[in-house]
Amino acid sequence: MENTQLFFNFVPWIVFFPVLGLLLNLTIGKKLSENGIGAIAVLASASAFVVAVLQAYSLSIHPEGASILVAEWIHVGDLAIDWTFRVDTLSVTMMLVVSGVGTLIHIYAIGYMHEDVRFHNDEGRFKRFFVFLNLFIAMMMVLVSGDSYMMLFVGWEGVGLCSFLLIGFWYDFDTLGRPSFANSNAAKKAFITNRIGDFGFLLAAFMMFWQFKSTNFDNVFAVVANAEPWVILWITIFILVGVAGKSAQIPLYIWLPDAMAGPTPVSALIHAATMVTAGVYLVTRSAPIFMLSHDAQYIVATVGALTAIFAATIAVGQYDIKKVLAYSTISQLGFMVAAVGMGAFAAGMFHLITHAFFKALLFLSAGSVILGMERGHHHLAHHGHHGGKHDEEVFDPGDMRNMGGLRKQMPVTFWLYMVGTVALAGLFPFAGFWSKDEILADAFLEFPHVYWILTGAAFLTAFYMGRQVWMVFFGKPRHEVAAHAEESPLIMTAPLMVLAALSVFGGALNLPGVHTLTVWLEHTIDIHPGEFNMQVALISTALALFAIFLSWLLYMRKPLTTGQPDPLKRILGFAFTGMENKWFVDEAYKFVFIDRYTDLAKFFAQTVDWDFWHEWFHNSVIAAGFVGLTKFLANPIDLGIVDNISKILARSIQYSSENFRKVQNGFVRSYALSVMLGVVAIIGYLLIK
């Protein structure tokens, strides 16, 4: 499908622009100011966005799409992997989201990174941050534009690397700016957990190559219908493992909350809006495979739904403003995975887009809140309210228990946050309402149990968002710092306003009856517009309102005071302890996997390697054997045989010479006797002979 019409040929620049940006920053970034570095990065990302828009325009005229070959890569036997850009409605949708939201976050990051508490005018770090961000955009573009599973995997690993680099960006400080390895540990946790998912992805790709002799999307989808059921089931299960790793689903979701150790723009861009949705994109891309196996759809949808409600319960019990959003992200990813799992690909993609808008908005606003708190803290420290007190007591600007009443200090952020909250809670007519209801409506028809679980998760979503808003922005400041918090500058709030607008009007992408997005995606995936289900919409809206009312009862009617325990603790008791502590999943994993693994490693290191190889084998076999051999060679062989041979030689010579000496006595007569004896002997010999 070589289609070079319109702007299709231009598509490789969607990767080249960000790469160009990062190369520029790498080479001349040292000479530039912070704003210069930021401008280059933003321009690179914005250029990618322009390319994406051009592709969308081209597609609107030629919806069949195009494949643009950039380079032949690996050709070995049957294996043929080329760097080909696949332009179709699905990939371009992802490109628009990634570059669009990405550009806004780039702009925000210029302001944010300048003020980060750990950033002490370190120009090198500032540059490095934007190099990583651009690299991420480039890798994400490789991921969404690849035309084979292997090219997708290249991007998949690339974004994983960027995720690792950016989670551990402050590798030498923890989130509070103290020297610590906590962040680099979080980065390692994310990377290692993702390796498990990547292993599943690779197995799926290998299996495709084994069965279909290709990993190219078109080739695989052309023959997959003839494959045996077990092949399809295993491929889908392996893909699900990959999705669970990258998109933070049960049981591999544990890395995402820790990933909040990264700077907040990273949390927004990578760990909420774009990278973590790669799994959803992967399932959508593999739609022809998943459509063939009802079992696979059932499993994926159930995993997604369980993740959605499980993470939502944890989000209820968190106190860190970013942790709540992190678990909310896992929960929303569960919604998307459940949607694409049950074949509602349009709904899943729709939720992916709207979620990218409002979750990026929420994260960035949360970053604005945190920086506002830090400004308040700074202000207090400088005006000597505490004296030296703040040095002893480490203040956590992200802890919601320290906030309260920020509505007055940070009005812009407050309103932006409210938009995001309402969109996430799924209230009419915000973006989240449309996308979430489409998922619920599809689930209602396909898998009723998924529908009920997701409805419960939606209820919890509204509740924890209500709790967060009441705790952060309403009531009275629970800490001196909160009373002195300051609003963020325009460079941070302006991108948020754009995201807020998108969160409000994003629902228009796929309104019931019009189905713009579904029709758009129909060119790529075999889907049909769903029906709008008024009953489902009413139930979920009513539940969301009820949840917000409940949270109002608990957190707003009698606002929390300083040091007061969470009111839910009294009501839910042990259950809330579980929520607070993430249901002890990390501890359980530590006990079941990490400790056992450590035990195994210890066993190998101590028992096998040290005790057996070093102590026993080395000492008893090698050393002792060598000593024994040398002793054997020294004592019986050298001393016994070799020495004795020479001694016997010496003695016999000594003995014979002693005896022969007597012959030479100087007496002529004895000589004469010898002569005569000799003559007699010779004559005797001659006679006898």
Partner 1 sequence: MIPVNYYLTLSVVLFSMGALGVLIRRNSLVVFMSIELMLNAGNLAFVTFAKMHAANLAAVHNGQIFVFFVMTVAAAEVAVGLALIVLIFRKKQSIDLDQLTHLKG
Binding-site ranges for partner 1 (CB under 8 A): 664-669, 671-673, 676
Number of C-beta neighbours around residue 523 at 10 A: 14
SS (H, E, C) 180-235: CCHHHHHHHHHHHHHHHHHHHHHHHHHHHHHHHCCCEHHHHHHHHHHCCHHHHHHH
Q: Following DSSP, what letter does each residue of 117-174 receive, concatenated?
A: TT-SS-HHHHHHHHHHHHHHHHHHHHHHHBSBHHHHHHHHHHHHHHHHHHHTTTTTB-
Token couple for 277:
């949705």
Beta carbon of residue 665, minimum distance to partner 1 (angstroms, whole number): 6
639 or 677, CB closer to partner 1? 677
Least distance CB 670 / partner 1 (angstroms): 8
* Lookup result for tokens 């920053």: 25
Could you give the CA distance from residue 491 to residue 112 in angstroms, rounded to a whole number? 9
> Residue 124 or residue 666: which is nearer to partner 1 going by CB?
666
Residues 6+ apart with CB under 8 A from 668: none
Least distance between partner 1 and beta carbon 646 (Å): 29
In the complex, what is the shortest distance from the CB of residue 638 to partner 1, in angstroms, rounded to a whole number?
40
Residue 75, phi-psi category: left (phi > 0), alpha (psi -120 to 50), beta (remainder):
beta
Q: Please report how close the Cβ of residue 666 comes to partner 1 at its closest, in angstroms.
A: 3
DSSP at 611: I
Which amino acid belongs to residue 200?
G
Helix H or strand E segment including 66:
strand 66-76
Closest distance between partner 1 and the C-beta of residue 667, in Å? 6
CB of 678 to partner 1, least distance (A): 13
Q: Could you tell me the smallest distance in angstroms from the CB atom of residue 673 to partner 1?
A: 5
Residue number, 1 or 676, with CB nearest to partner 1: 676
Q: Which is nearer to partner 1, 574 or 667 (CB)?
A: 667
Using the CB atoms, write b or e for 11-36: b if 16+ within 10 Å: bbbbbbbbbbbbbbbeeebeebebee
C-alpha to C-alpha distance for 534 and 253, rounded to whole angstroms: 33
> Any residues with CB less than 8 A from the CB of 447 and at least 6 apart, and which?
298, 301, 302, 305, 342
CB closer to partner 1 out of 382 and 669: 669
Closer residue to partner 1 (CB): 574 or 660:
660
The Cβ of residue 204 has, within 10 Å, a number of other Cβ atoms equal to 26
Please say which residue, 646 or 664, places its beta carbon nearer to partner 1.
664
Q: Is the CB of 634 or the CB of 672 nearer to partner 1?
A: 672
Q: From the CB of 677, what's the least distance to partner 1, in Å?
A: 10
Q: How far apart are alpha carbons 497 and 194 in whole angstroms?
A: 33
For partner 1, the closer CB: 76 or 687: 687
Which ranges of 247-344 would DSSP assign to H, the alpha helix? Answer: 255-258, 264-268, 278-285, 287-290, 294-316, 321-341
222/676 with CB nearer partner 1: 676
* Token representation of residue 173: 């400080």
CB nearer partner 1, residue 528 or residue 662: 662
Compare residues 535 and 664 and give the one whose CB is closer to partner 1. 664
- Residue closer to partner 1, measured from CB, 598 or 674: 674
CB of 637: closest distance to partner 1 in angstroms?
43
With b for 16 or more beta-carbon neighbours within 10 A and e for fewer, the 376-413 pattern comes to bbbebbeeeeeeeeeeeeebbbbbbbbbbbbbebbebb
Instruction: Residue count of the chain, please give it.
Output: 689
Query: Measured from the CB of residue 683, what is the shortest distance to partner 1 in angstroms?
Result: 12
Give long-range contacts, CB 8 A cutoff, 24+ apart: 322-325. Answer: 322/260, 322/264, 322/267, 322/363, 322/366, 322/370, 322/398, 323/257, 323/260, 324/400, 324/464, 324/468, 325/260, 325/267, 325/272, 325/359, 325/362, 325/363, 325/366
CB of 681 to partner 1, least distance (A): 14
* Of 388 and 666, CB closest to partner 1: 666
Q: Given the complex with partner 1, which of 645 and 680 has the nearer CB atom?
A: 680
Q: 523 is written with which tokens? A: 């060119």
The CB-of-672 to partner 1 minimum distance in angstroms stands at 5
In the complex, minimum distance from the CB of residue 651 to partner 1, in angstroms, rounded to a whole number: 25
**Sign of the CA dihedral running 668, 674, 676, 678:** negative
How far is the CA of 65 from the CAs of 82, 139, 437, 516, 522, in angstroms? Answer: 18, 21, 30, 17, 12
The CB-of-663 to partner 1 minimum distance in angstroms stands at 10
- Kindly state the smallest distance separating residue 653's Cβ from partner 1, in Å: 20
Alpha-helical segments (H) within 562-666: 567-572, 574-580, 585-589, 595-602, 624-632, 643-663
In sequence order, the β-bridge partners of residue 399 are 320
Range list of H helices, 7-88:
13-28, 34-61
* Amino acid (one-letter) located at 424: L
Pick 624 or 680: Cβ nearer partner 1: 680
